[in-house]
Structure 1
């Protein structure tokens, strides 16, 4: 699905046309925005697009400490255009300004119609200001969905004005206004027959992009705009008055796909083979698409919303989420199964379908109904199994096609028990080494994560990449005789077993041995920098990590001391670790449970303390001594 348009936070992304050294937005204390004015006017357009949204921006930058040069950029695409750009430095208009235009390379996207217009703006010396005036046009109000208040730099004052003629019906939702201190006014301009909404905000920090943060729609104050309809001389034009209108538009694009059932059915029959049960057929087709169709992200005009024909994706062996979902659906339908396309917003988006705009969803999957039970299939999750769901779509509202109607449902929630990562090691001491065997068992997103990491290593052989991953690049941790089960057939679990030789893991001093039984030390670097972190933190997915190591006590030795146990049990996570002597063996068990992936800033202090305790426990050594 297409990324959200008209979101001003996009400017914090790297501007590929400009020197990287100048990209200090969000952290540059030297430059501030003293004033920014934005004006959005709904106007009459042309025959093809009867309603336009004219946009006017005026941004004044001030240099606080020393002269500088900053990138100024704006984005547009097939449904918007840049009409005019002017720049003023210290009150004087920049003559001969020639902004660069080019396709914008969005990280992770194979192709996009997103374009960027930009140039370098000078700020001559301390205390001086430079201003940029920009005019743009959005050619279809469907694509005018949101207006954000925060900017790339510290913002002293911002004024946002929306001019809405009475012939244009829309809804404006005020999002994340709780602590933003935004003032608002609404007046009626009788001459223009328009309602004028004006919002003012003062002294806002720069927007900050942080890893593992919630999406911008959760974080920053913004206006969510939904155009319902327009009364034009040619009659009423309906946009998105309700979710039915949104679905009708999506469904109209689906009807234009042009699927050819012939080659798709031939492929589906071959994949299903001799399988008799419906669920086995679904599992086989789902796994085939996951394994054989390469995911790419594609955004190009209306193609950003319309899936590619199933036969094209089948032939090219690649597609975006829409193309993959469409191929999967058509294959299952050709086998006589009840499969549907689904639109969904991942957890990156704060909205649901109560506000029918193009900002609501950013993904497409497939649903299949088997004996009254709905299964959701997301083929972009390459290694996840049937009836397992990635964290990003769990609990999310989903819009399911149903002919001329639609169905609203939710993807089931899953607990950490879906995603288990278990490692059992049986070791003995040989000189200064630990030797023995290890066995891993992984399910759900733990399998997805491991195999994604392994394949990203880009080794010629999967076994070599697996070896590199399992040893964590530790040259002293030797692995041999790897055997796997579930690696190719995408079964309910993945198992890996091998022989271990951990060199120099035993330190001997006199009559005593010191042994570190915790090789992996999961979560070792999971502390949060509370001095610089601005936003809440979202962990990747709920999971349960179980590690059990059994060590045979050498003849003539006994346990001198065991590290103290650890027991942390918080509402969102739990850390447990303990040593136990059983006969002539020592058993070390560790368990890490992530119950809820969202950590609030108010919880960072407790999280850091618990991570410190976990780290300390993992670093403790077992002490053996001569009897």
Structure 2
């Protein structure tokens, strides 16, 4: 048998390789030895082992039997050939789905609207269940079976999406992909390269990637786990290798504006929250948008951070079920137990979310941190200061900025308008915090804790 050994993530480690031949057994012997191995300390945010730790991929290229040579996976062509052979065994029955597709796309005013109707129908009506048995771990279930059962794994859902699009006259193709936890590309011929299947749509000279397992994701938007990843696309007897587009952190912006004033022992005011990209998709799942049950109650609890001291009222949800637009909430808010008065001094804390507080790495931890999303939070909170009071103290600003994360938190006071403004902007550029940045990360999080626990001081005259 002909084997290749692909060395992955060896950089920074003391690893040696020796090769020898055992004449008696007639076998080649390859030994990898690693020295000074650290104990692996995992956390809830540890990156995947395959993307971080050193390992060897054994690639079975071909074998010889009775003087004949047989290919296994010598190159990407062989890998695709085996995948394509499984697709040929799938027995879709488009005639049984035609009426349903016609019903789903009824009223569509454009080709793109037809695509959205099909894509969103599969998202909302087919439950993702990753049940795989034997060859079904690689072979998609028939589209008709998935539609009838109302559930399927990624391959079954991709196959149903693809078949429905083709019934509507679109050029749709099954597509293999490895999610971000897998560090390999399709230059490596191995079944370990991918773990997921989606649909590629060719429309007006562009390629669009449809992953119906991602509930709430919009057409032309992509989940973080597939952004920037290699894809292997059907192309009749051949294949196409492409890459899913990748968005920057601002694509996922969560923007919050809250304007408050003091009312006795409470803070009262109005707020507006807007969610984009991945934050919007996550919100769909967190508060049960798809189920459409008790939506207002779930949204108010979400805005209040499940805190009984926060009372949300007069909630208005804009474009509730339009996946193509940001989710927007407007509301009134009343905050109790946030004001402490001692004599003529009033202490107020405008922090409500305490983002990333307490997320520290341990001394022995060396696996990169992976938050599994690019993070961008932009929050502004204002407080109207009474005419008979003066601002005596505001917390010291926090500003930390490097290639992977940025924390910018600051207070300011406009004496003319008598308004304190608290601005908070937090960005995780890639969602990954490298081991080399752990020291700075920990220092920053400790600064955050001090900042979050600090308070504004107002003196009543």
User: What TM-score, normalized to structure 2?
Assistant: 0.92
- How many angstroms apart in 2 are the aligned matches of 1:492 and 1:471? 23
Q: Is the 8 A contact 2:17 2:33 kept in 1?
A: yes
5 Å matches for 1:161-560? Answer: 168-178=1-11, 179-187=13-21, 189=23, 193-200=26-33, 204=37, 209-233=42-66, 235-455=68-288, 461-529=294-362, 531-560=363-392
Identify the structure with bigger relative contact order (alpha carbons < 8 Å, sequence gap 6+): 2
Q: Report the counterpart of residue 623 of structure 1 in structure 2.
A: 457
* CA distance 1:223–1:492, change in 2 (3 Å): same
281-290 vs 322-331, which moves further = 281-290
Q: What secondary structure, in the 3-state scheme, does the structure 2 residue paired with 1:518 have?
A: coil
Q: Is the 8 A contact 2:175 2:234 kept in 1?
A: yes
Superposed displacement of residue 208, structure 1: 5.1
Q: Is the 8 A contact 1:428 1:552 kept in 2?
A: yes
5 Å matches for 1:120-199? Answer: 168-178=1-11, 179-187=13-21, 189=23, 193-199=26-32
Aligned equivalent of 2:403, options 549, 571, 584? 571
The RMSD of aligned alpha carbons is 2.3
Q: Is the 8 A contact 2:154 2:196 kept in 1?
A: yes
Superposed displacement of residue 542, structure 1: 0.8
Q: Is the 8 A contact 1:325 1:365 kept in 2?
A: yes
The reply to whether residue 606 of structure 1 matches residue 440 of structure 2 is yes
Q: Is the 8 A contact 2:17 2:30 kept in 1?
A: no
- How many angstroms apart in 1 are the aligned matches of 2:233 and 2:147? 23
Q: Report the counterpart of residue 156 of structure 1 in structure 2.
A: none
* CA distance 1:197–1:612, change in 2 (3 Å): closer
Q: What secondary structure, in the 3-state scheme, does the structure 2 residue paired with 1:612 have?
A: helix
Gaps of 5+ in 1: 1-167
- Which entry has the higher C-alpha Rg, 1 or 2? 1
User: What TM-score, normalized to structure 1?
Assistant: 0.69
Q: What secondary structure, in the 3-state scheme, does the structure 1 residue paired with 2:191 have?
A: coil
Q: Is the 8 A contact 1:185 1:199 kept in 2?
A: no
Gaps of 5+ in 2: none
Q: What secondary structure, in the 3-state scheme, does the structure 2 residue paired with 1:578 have?
A: strand
- How many angstroms apart in 2 are the aligned matches of 1:619 and 1:208? 29
Superposed displacement of residue 413, structure 1: 1.4
Superposed displacement of residue 186, structure 1: 2.2
Q: Is the 8 A contact 2:143 2:156 kept in 1?
A: yes
* CA distance 1:486–1:232, change in 2 (3 Å): farther
